[in-house]
Structure formats: C-alpha cells, structure tokens
Amino acid sequence: MKYMLIIAGPEVDQQDQMSPEDMGATMSAWNDYTQSLIEAGAFLSGEGLQPSATATTVRHTPGGDRVVSDGPFAETKEHVGGFYLLECANLDEALDWSKKMPIQEGNAIEVRPVMDYPEEYQEPETEKAAAS
C-alpha cells in the first residue's frame, strides 16, 4: 500500500539560518534516510518544497469559476515543507519509517494512505503512452 509522509512545521529559511557545515550535516542525514528507504524498496518518490510564499492557489468558487491567487491554500503557522511517497506493507511500517525521519524539533509528519482506486477506473491515455 502507498503512504504519503507529509512533512510540516514552522516555516523558516534554514539556508539563511545555518552555517554551511550545519547545512551539510543536515542534508547528509536526509540523504542517509532517503538511501535507507531506497535500499529497503520502500521509496517511490520524495521532494522538498519551496517556501509557501512561492505558492499559487486555484480555488473553485461556488459559481464554478476558478480564482487564482498568490500564496498557500490556507492561513496557517505551519507549512508543508516536503513529502515522501512510500510503498509499505501496512500503516505500522509507514509509521516506523516516519519515526526515523531526521526532522527538526517542532516539526510533524502526517502519514496518510494514498487512495486506492478500483480496477474499473481506467488509467489516463497519456500515462499509458508514457509507460510504453
């Protein structure tokens, strides 16, 4: 089963607040974590995200219009900083991986199962062509 590990916490620009040595050590811990996921066969994808100030939100209004605005989708003190998409046997395995993540104090990891659609839903044609 697929699980998304959503990394959330206070929005800070770590690159501005860390020395190059500290940033190297932090990135090394993340690289080690990612490598352990790959070696275990659990890693499907994962990325860090740019700060929420770079976000653009598209809202579907009650009248059916789509309104585009700058900024994140919600006013919040926490932001989504990145994610991992994993293949795990069950929730317990996904939780074990989340507990090993080298997050900073004050951050959180939301572990959420990915929607599993019934087989009768067809794969979009563009995905079929890309897989060929």
* pLDDT per position as a tens digit, 65-79: 998 888 766 666 678
Tell me if 124 is assigned to some domain. no
Question: For residue 130, is it within any domain?
Answer: no
Predicted confidence (pLDDT) per residue in 10-60, tens digit: 876 555 677 888 889 989 999 999 999 999 999 999 999 888 888 888 889
**Any residues with CB less than 8 A from the CB of 67 and at least 6 apart, and which?**
58, 59, 61
Q: Domain of 37: which CATH number?
A: 3.30.70.1060
Share of the chain above pLDDT 70, in %: 83
pTM of the model: 0.77
Instruction: Give the integer Cα–Cα distance in Å for 118 and 120.
Output: 5
Residue 132 lies in a domain: no
